[in-house]
Each structure stands twice: as structure tokens, then as C-alpha cells.
Structure 1
Amino acid sequence: MLKTFSGKYFILVAVAALSFGACKNGSIFSKKKGKSSATGWNYDDKNMGNFHVAKVKYPKAGPGLVFVQGGSFVMGAKDEDVMGDWNNVPRRVTVPSFFIDETEVANVHYREYLYWLENTFSNDSNIINKALPDTLVWREELAYNEPYVEYYFRYPSYNYYPVVGVTWQQAHDFCIWRTDRVNELNLIKKGYLKKDAAKKEMKGGGSDGSFNTEAYLINPELVQMAKSKPKKTDLKDINGKPRANVRMEDGILNMGDRLPTEAEWEYAAYGLLDQNPNPRKKEKQSGEENRTNQQVYSWSKNPNGLRDNRRGSWQGKFLANFKRGSGDNMGIAGGLNDRAAITGPVKSFYPNAFGLYNMSGNVSEWVGDVYRPMTSLDAQDFNYFRGNKFQKLYKNASGEYERDSLGRLKKTEISDEEVKNRANYQKNNVINYQDGDSSSQVYYGYGITSLINDESRVIKGGSWNDRAYWLSPGSRRYMQETQAASTVGFRCAQTYLGPPEGPGFKDANNFPSRKQNSRKKR
């Protein structure tokens, strides 16, 4: 508490300010909190423009996600290419740190999504029908799987079994919905949305009444549940009055959910954390860079106490849900090997070193990438991804943003004319960049043709109905993004921005300043 000249007391709130200039010791952070080291102007001072700088914050994992520390790894085949596809030739890539779901998305999670759609868009059956999983994927010409058609998705016995029968596009839409629900709850808890927002939203709110993160950030008036009158808050406008709406730079909104990239998924599946000092234990060693473990499957050498030879308690146990051979999906009665005829609960078996379940087996999983077999020849070595199609927000003739039938902001493709002079990309749609087809003007061989197209998406991980070869994170297959299967599900990922070792760790190598000995004059 500090005393003013008038005898009154006030609380001084110190704001850790991010500086854009350099200090004496070379640090980019000003020693004087609340003042710019670039201009000298105070932050959060209404007499100096009232520029607000939030305390340094790092994204938190959304519900159900865990942190994966990034790094370099060998992406691709770790075993003989028995299929002869040559579509996973090993190459070294680097993946930045990120968050990913601890488990596959379960039936109960997807039913929660449908419940929200059914109540919010009760007058639009097309939206609901478009999101429904295809339960007919269980049918086979010479098998009696009708019970799974009828009950697998809905019956409580399978609440926490992975959802299947979803297309790539449905999985993509689920991730957007999940982002909005997490951010909506954050704003309700902090008082920036009306308390009954969710209640009104799910009483037929429709596209105009539903919350969407992008729409809220661009223009909060597009979201009817946003408060017009601000609460008492640290967020101030230029006049020093409380601000009603949250901006991204306030650090309150969560990073968006999405499908993981193929590189992220494969890196997370291997769980290579056990090779070096564990950052979770905040060990002081650094610079080890051991790459001794090039395992074939997602379980590594011994991160979870497996193969306890002293007592033999885990020796010989199945570590994934897969098909051992023709006609053998779960073993012999009285000694079932993986205890799962079809899929199993999403928290089956031991998690890998990152804490992730079923990265090998149970269900294969959609990832974000468009499939091309020659990925190893054209891959970027940092944060590899194929599937970029650059867009911008759409404005109508009046210069206003519009929302689509799902309440999301409409987008339009960036024209090639707009980007023709850029150094880093010259086209808006770069899905087929250097992939060997005629439009890319790059060729890898004479007479090679394929049914692969721009709607072919990568699936990873192997399933309950696959042989062991497909359990390796390095193996890869594809399906059309409009197709679904009883063996394919998904999990979500979330971008992380901050110290690569995770929140609570230093960002980059910061060395203590020491007085250097000056060279003595001779």
C-alpha cells in the first residue's frame, strides 16, 4: 500500500512489461516494470495513452490435453518397408513444443458436441445431419456387426471408447467447436460474457446467438452474449475506463484446438522424452542430445516400468490393441491378450513417456496433412506440414464481416495476385506444392500416376483390426477426407507459444552477467 499526498491509499499494480528495445545488459526486458524501454512511456497510464501490457503469460493446456516438449527426431520408417510403398523414407525434422489430447476423442465427447448442435441449431436439421458419425461403417458383407451399427456410438457401455465413423472434415469441425466452448467458458467465468449465455445459446440461439472466438475478437457485437457494460477490471480503454471486451493480447483466451500435423503426431507417439533429462523434474543438466532410442512402436525402452524382470509382472503382456493374425483379434478365452474384440477404452494400456494413450493401436487417427507419397523429398525440416490454403476474412459490399450458418466468420481465398511479389509464397493454395503433378511443374518420374488428390488425408497409428506393422508411428496411410471407417478416429492438438521446455522454464539460454576482466595495459 502506498500513501498519496492527499492521505488516501491506493494499490499499486506492477505489470511485467514486454519490452521491444534493448537494456544496458542486453536484455529485451525493461528493469523498470510498467515502462517501455523503447520509448520511456509508462504502460497503463491514462496520462500517457494508457497502453496496456499484460503480465507475461504462456498458453495453458485446454481440458484433456498434455504438454509435449518439442525437439528433433527421425520421421519415417523405423522398420523394414514390408508394404513396398516407399512413402515414409526417414529424414530428420524438428517439431516445436505443443499440446495434444491425452486420449482419442471418445463417443461421449462427440455426443456432447451433437447435443450442443441439436439445441443451438434446432431449426436447421442440415447442420446436425452433417455432423452425425456414419455408424454404417461397421457393416461388412460377411459379418454380423449390426449391434455395433445400432449401439456402439450411443450405448453407455461404450461412452469412453473412441468415436469412429467420422470424416476428416467432421473431426476438423469438432476441433473448432471445442475451441469455442473452452473460450466461452473462460469468458463467462471471468465475467466478460453474460452468466446465462450458455443457457440462451442452447435454446435455439442459432448462428447469431452462438459464441465463436474469431467473431468475438473481430467484433464483439457479432456475439449477442457479450457484455456491453464492463465489470471492474485491469483492462482499461484509452481514457482509463474499464474495457468490456477481451483481446488476444490480454492472455485470457485459449489457443485454438485443431488436428495435429503428421510430424507432431508421429513425434508425440514415439515419446522420446526418456532419453534425456526430464524437464518435468526440472533437472539442471542440459545439452545431452542423446538419440539412442529409435524404437519401432510408441512404447519406448522402459518409461513406465514395463518388463519388470524381477517379478515378471509385465513380461510378455500386450501393449496395444491390434490384430495378432488372421482370425485372432483378442486371443483365447481365459487368456485374452489385449482384452478388446474391437476398440477398447481410450485409457487402455500404459501411456507413453509423454503420457499419451493408444498412440499405437485401438484406432488409426486423422491428422491435418494432405497425403503425398514423396513427402520425404519435399518436406520442410522445421514444423513440417502439407495442407496450407491461405485465406482471409470475408467482408461484404458494406465492409462488414459476416457469419456463416454455424456462426463462424466467413472467409475467402487470398488471390494469387495479392501474393505474387512475396518471397515466402506466391500462391494461396499450396497443397500441391512440389508434389510432382502437372500443375506444380515438378516431376519425379515418367509414367507414374496415382489416384491421390488434394482431398487425400493422412491417417496414422494402426487400429484394432490391423497387423503389428501399422502400429509403428512411422507408417502412414491415407483416406479421402469425405470417407469414414470403423477403424479411424482422431484426437486434437493445440499450439503452444513460450519456452520450449514448457511454462516455468527459461526462454532461450540466459547467462548471468559478469564483470569481464579488462586486458591489462602493457
Structure 2
Amino acid sequence: MRFRSSLLFVSLATALMLGSCGGGKKTNVSSTTGWKYNDAKFGGFEYQAEHEQETGPGLVFIEGGTFIMGQVDEDVMKEWNNIPRRVTVPSFYMDETEVSNAHYREYLHWINRVFVSYPEVYRNALPDTLVWRRPMAYNEPYVENYLRHPAFSDYPVVGVNWIQANNYCAWRTDRVNELILVREGIIELNLEGQQDENNFNTEAYLLGQYETTDGRRPQKDLFTGDNRRVRPDDGILLPRYRLPTEAEWEYAAMGLIGNSYEERLTNRRIYPWDGHIVRNPSKKYRGEMMANFIRGAGDYMGMAGSLNDGGDITVPVKSYWPNDYGLYCMAGNVNEWVADVYRPLSFADVEEFSPYRGNVFQQKVLDSEGMVVEKDEYGRIRYREETAEDILDRKNYRAGDNRNYKDGDPISNIAIGGDWTSSTESNTTTMYDSGGNLGSMISDRARVYKGGGWRDRAYWLSPGTRRYLDERESRDDLGFRCAMTRVGSPMSSKKK
């Protein structure tokens, strides 16, 4: 349905010319037709050359490249679920640190203030603080204080499941893009006017779902002279924040720019730093732990007077030394969710460029006029999975759900015996579980997490190791950080 928002817009004819929107510049004449660009007399086609993407708040640029993804140390678990293979990861952006309690409380505060009529939105976003409880340990102080107490503000948020982490990423996208439009004078900040589903949402804004009280739009069309909204081709709005793919996370954690020279790798790393040990080898900090993890049975922080890693549980997100990309705690502190669905043989079915398992292609639910038909309780556009009719209409065939690519079907069945192949309910769960006899956790809800945490031995600090958990579950040593797609050149403007 179409509705009006009380957001106020400021009409600007020259918003596209603002250099702070990303550094793009105008060129005058088309090299194919000779017609002038950005000139109303010649049709008003708008064109920017050499546009440079703005770096979003909290992000670090990760220059992409090729690397050997997978296990770099002995597979002590004997799972063989991450056999090395060469892939290429495109450039992207990643959070400098894990998302902290303060970051997440800001999210909770916004939800509580905006969704007045939908208190369940706030309840659904709350981390599960009971993850701290153990049958034979006194952890109630963390249940009561870890999320809220200011002493833990800069510590990584935990108790957040994969679904909650994705919702945080979507919220962050909208808040960052909203502030960009405010900063450029395109809209006015109006917190009082945003309530329930009537709040600023990037996708809904681009589809024209937010109108001013007088129906005007904030951008001047060079051909018609009419006011219009910002469009994706203006380059003002940023791509969405999201969870990194497993390949992106592993690539960023290894930080191979620090031990390579002119495409020659000087040595392979086990951890996000050089060497095969977990202590700092430099003269100034010699012997100090490089990460927060459990050194041995019952030893979580060392002896009083000489704590080995300085953390009994988690530590502040900017602890120890950043890796060569400038990322903190890519090993230890807390494990981190990534976007991928877990499969033990992911390496066998992998794209060489930008690998990822978990694609579910969807379409916006729009009416005949291109307006949103349905929104969820967050005010976000509802999507639907592609139908057989959708796929038939597309010459470039792509299946809608790729989580089970070459998996979860009779051809790839690994279960022995039974009548599995004739079942109408054959899927990933029945493939791995064989009727519930094996008790497997592998399903379409199984998500990968990586990095090792404060409860883990050093083995799990290696970026090549991987584990999985149901996307609806959470732990006291599992958090997340966000990533963002890089558009345009894989090199930043500083290197061109």
C-alpha cells in the first residue's frame, strides 16, 4: 500500500554536484554520440565519471585478490570440511571491530522508540542473556550485567543469533543512508514523525514510498525540471550492510597483504599474524598473547599479577593488535557469524570467484504501478521466492533457492538404505539425518561461524577452521561484524 510519511524533504537542484557524496565528477560529452551530458537542452542524461564509493561508518577497505581458502594447519577434528582451494574474493568493506554492546544497545533503543505499536519487534531483537548460564558455574552477574552495564559497553555483543544479526545489518543500512541524505540537505531529520512501519527505509525510499506533505520530491530532473527523489545511479546512497560471506571473512582475517611481495607469498599463515605461535615476537611486546582464548584446561586468563591475555571472558573490541588490514580480534574474543549455509563438502561445489552458499533469489511484492504491496512490521518491503513461472519467463535461468545446490536431493543422497529417494519430502535434513537416526544438525538453517572465542583452544583461532550452528541459536562466545560490497574499481582511489 502507498502511504505518506511526515519526513520533510528539502528540494535541491544541485545535489548531484556535491563532491562529498563520493567524489564522482561530471564529464561533458558522450564519446559515442557527441551529445552533451548533464544538459537539459540535450535530454538531460546524467553521467558521473570516476565515482569513488564513500566508506561507511565503522568500515575498513579490504582490497580483494586471490588466496588459498581452507585449512592451513592439521585437521585435528578429522572432518575434512575445508580442504584448500584457490579462489578470488572481490574487494569489499568490513567492520574494524566486532559489534559491541553499545552498538547493539543503540539499535535496541531505536526500535523501542519507533515501534510503539509493535513491542514484539523489540522483544525479538533482544539478545539471549541466558546464554551465560551454566549448570555448574556462577555466571548470574553476566546474565544481569553484561549487555547493559556501562563497564561492558565496548565488549562484543553475544547471545545474538544469525537472524538477529541480519536484522541489525538491515537497520544499520537504513540509519546510515538516512543520515547521508540529511547531511547532504536532501531530507530533514524528523524523528518524531517516524513511528511503527512508517520509518525511513532505503528500499522503500527508492521506490517512492515516502512522500512530502505537498507531494514534491527532493532532486531536480535535468530534462523535465521536475523535482524527484535520489536514485541509485546518483551514487549518493551506500550499498547495504550485511554479514560477510565465509570467503570474505577468511580472506580478511588472513590479511595476506602483510606477507606478500609482488604477488609472491613469503609464507603461509596459520593465524591472522605471522609465525606459528600465539605470542607476540616483537621486542617491545615479546611474550604477550595475540588474542583472547583459553590457553589450557581451566586456564582462561593466567595467574594474578601476570594475566596472559587480560580477559577472563570477552575483552573490549579494540584489544590486542589489528591484523594487516587494520581489523581487530579476527582471532579469539568471540566467534563470528558469516552469511553462508554450512555444508561439510562446500569445497567440492564452489565458485572460483566470490564463492558463497546460501543464495535464495527473491522478488519484491509490488503492484501493477510498481508500488509496494506488502511490508513487514519493520516497514521493510516483503519479498517472495521466485516461482516456476518467474523462472520460465527468464532466459538466463537461475533457480530460486541455491542453499541445496547439488545437495539435499536423491542424486546426492549419502544415507544408506531406506526408501529415501521415493519420498516426497526428500530434503537436506532427511539426507543427512536418514529419518532421525543420525541426529545431524546439518540443515538449511545451519550457518557457519568462524574465528574462535574466549572459550576455545588455539586451534580454532586459525581462519581456515569452521563450525556451524542453527541460525536460531546463540552462544556466550559468538558475536558478529558487518561487511559491505565495494562497487566499482577493486582498488581504492588512494592507489590509483
Name the TM-score, length of structure 2 as normaliser. 0.86
Aligned partner of residue 412 in structure 1, secondary structure: strand
Equivalent residue number for residue 431 of structure 1: 403
Equivalent residue number for residue 223 of structure 1: 210
The residue identity in structure 1 corresponding to 2:230 is V
Give the Å deviation of 1:223. Answer: 2.1
Aligned partner of residue 198 in structure 1, secondary structure: coil
Relative to structure 1, is the Cα distance of residues 44 and 313 closer, same or farther in structure 2, using a 3 angstrom cutoff?
Answer: closer
Relative to structure 1, is the Cα distance of residues 44 and 159 closer, same or farther in structure 2, using a 3 angstrom cutoff?
Answer: same
Relative to structure 1, is the Cα distance of residues 445 and 124 closer, same or farther in structure 2, using a 3 angstrom cutoff?
Answer: closer
| Aligned residue runs from structure 1 range 300-319, under 5 A | 300=274, 307-308=281-282, 312-319=283-290
The residue identity in structure 1 corresponding to 2:206 is L
Equivalent residue number for residue 458 of structure 1: 448
Distance across 2 between alignment mates of 1:54 and 1:466: 50
Give the Å deviation of 1:445. Answer: 7.7
Give a deviation string over 1:110-161, Cα, whole Å, max 9, x none.
0000100001102211111110000000001000000000000000000000
Distance across 2 between alignment mates of 1:95 and 1:84: 27
Relative to structure 1, is the Cα distance of residues 428 and 44 closer, same or farther in structure 2, using a 3 angstrom cutoff?
Answer: same
Give the Å deviation of 1:238. Answer: 2.0
Equivalent residue number for residue 336 of structure 1: 307
Give a deviation string over 1:195-244, Cα, whole Å, max 9, x none.
3x23432xxx1112x0010111111xx2256985466x7x4342245x34
Q: Could you tell me which of 356, 380, 395 is aligned with 1:385?
A: 356
1:239 paired to 2:228: no
Distance across 2 between alignment mates of 1:393 and 1:505: 38
Distance across 1 between alignment mates of 2:82 and 2:461: 14
Gaps of 5+ in 2: 1-13, 20-25, 418-430, 434-439
1:87 paired to 2:76: no
Distance across 2 between alignment mates of 1:398 and 1:71: 42
The residue identity in structure 1 corresponding to 2:79 is D
1:407 paired to 2:391: no
Relative to structure 1, is the Cα distance of residues 136 and 90 closer, same or farther in structure 2, using a 3 angstrom cutoff?
Answer: same
Q: Could you tell me which of 206, 214, 218 is aligned with 2:203?
A: 214
Q: Could you tell me which of 456, 474, 485 is aligned with 1:484?
A: 474
The residue identity in structure 2 corresponding to 1:94 is T
Relative to structure 1, is the Cα distance of residues 445 and 379 closer, same or farther in structure 2, using a 3 angstrom cutoff?
Answer: farther
Equivalent residue number for residue 334 of structure 2: 363
Equivalent residue number for residue 427 of structure 2: none
The residue identity in structure 1 corresponding to 2:349 is D
The residue identity in structure 2 corresponding to 1:503 is S
Equivalent residue number for residue 295 of structure 1: 269
Equivalent residue number for residue 29 of structure 2: 35
1:275 paired to 2:259: yes
Distance across 2 between alignment mates of 1:37 and 1:223: 37
Gaps of 5+ in 1: 1-10, 17-31, 278-287, 507-522
Q: Could you tell me which of 257, 262, 274 is aligned with 2:241?
A: 257
Contact 1:416 1:426 (8 Å CA) reproduced: no
The residue identity in structure 2 corresponding to 1:106 is S
Distance across 2 between alignment mates of 1:101 and 1:171: 14
Give the Å deviation of 1:485. Answer: 0.5
Distance across 2 between alignment mates of 1:226 and 1:69: 44
Equivalent residue number for residue 422 of structure 2: none
Aligned partner of residue 66 in structure 2, secondary structure: strand
Q: Could you tell me which of 177, 180, 183 is aligned with 1:189?
A: 183
| Aligned residue runs from structure 1 range 138-153, under 5 A | 138-153=132-147
Distance across 2 between alignment mates of 1:227 and 1:100: 40
Give the Å deviation of 1:444. Answer: 6.0
Give the Å deviation of 1:505. Answer: 3.8
Give the Å deviation of 1:438. Answer: 2.1
The residue identity in structure 1 corresponding to 2:412 is V
Contact 1:15 1:53 (8 Å CA) reproduced: no
Relative to structure 1, is the Cα distance of residues 421 and 444 closer, same or farther in structure 2, using a 3 angstrom cutoff?
Answer: farther
Give the Å deviation of 1:40. Answer: 2.1
Give the Å deviation of 1:419. Answer: 2.0
Equivalent residue number for residue 497 of structure 1: 487
Relative to structure 1, is the Cα distance of residues 492 and 40 closer, same or farther in structure 2, using a 3 angstrom cutoff?
Answer: same
Give a deviation string over 1:57-114, Cα, whole Å, max 9, x none.
1222211100001011111111000011111111111101000000000000000001
Equivalent residue number for residue 67 of structure 1: 61
Contact 1:107 1:153 (8 Å CA) reproduced: yes
The residue identity in structure 2 corresponding to 1:299 is W
Give the Å deviation of 1:292. Answer: 2.6
The residue identity in structure 2 corresponding to 1:214 is E
Equivalent residue number for residue 7 of structure 1: none
1:248 paired to 2:222: no
Q: CA RMSD in A?
A: 2.6
| Aligned residue runs from structure 1 range 8-157, under 5 A | 33-157=27-151
Distance across 2 between alignment mates of 1:250 and 1:244: 12
Give a deviation string over 1:9-60, Cα, whole Å, max 9, x none.
xx9x9999xxxxxxxxxxxxxxx93221222221122222111113431222
Name the TM-score, length of structure 1 as normaliser. 0.82
Relative to structure 1, is the Cα distance of residues 351 and 444 closer, same or farther in structure 2, using a 3 angstrom cutoff?
Answer: same
Give the Å deviation of 1:483. Answer: 0.3
Larger radius of gyration: 1
Aligned partner of residue 48 in structure 2, secondary structure: coil
Relative to structure 1, is the Cα distance of residues 223 and 229 closer, same or farther in structure 2, using a 3 angstrom cutoff?
Answer: closer
The residue identity in structure 2 corresponding to 1:236 is D
Equivalent residue number for residue 442 of structure 1: 412
Give the Å deviation of 1:301. Answer: 5.1
The residue identity in structure 2 corresponding to 1:271 is G
User: Which range moves more in the overlay, 243-252 or 362-371?
Assistant: 243-252
Give a deviation string over 1:244-268, Cα, whole Å, max 9, x none.
4111111110111000000000000
Equivalent residue number for residue 5 of structure 1: none
Over 6 Å off, 4+ runs = 13-16
Give the Å deviation of 1:399. Answer: 5.9
Aligned partner of residue 170 in structure 1, secondary structure: helix
Contact 1:193 1:227 (8 Å CA) reproduced: no
Contact 1:323 1:467 (8 Å CA) reproduced: yes
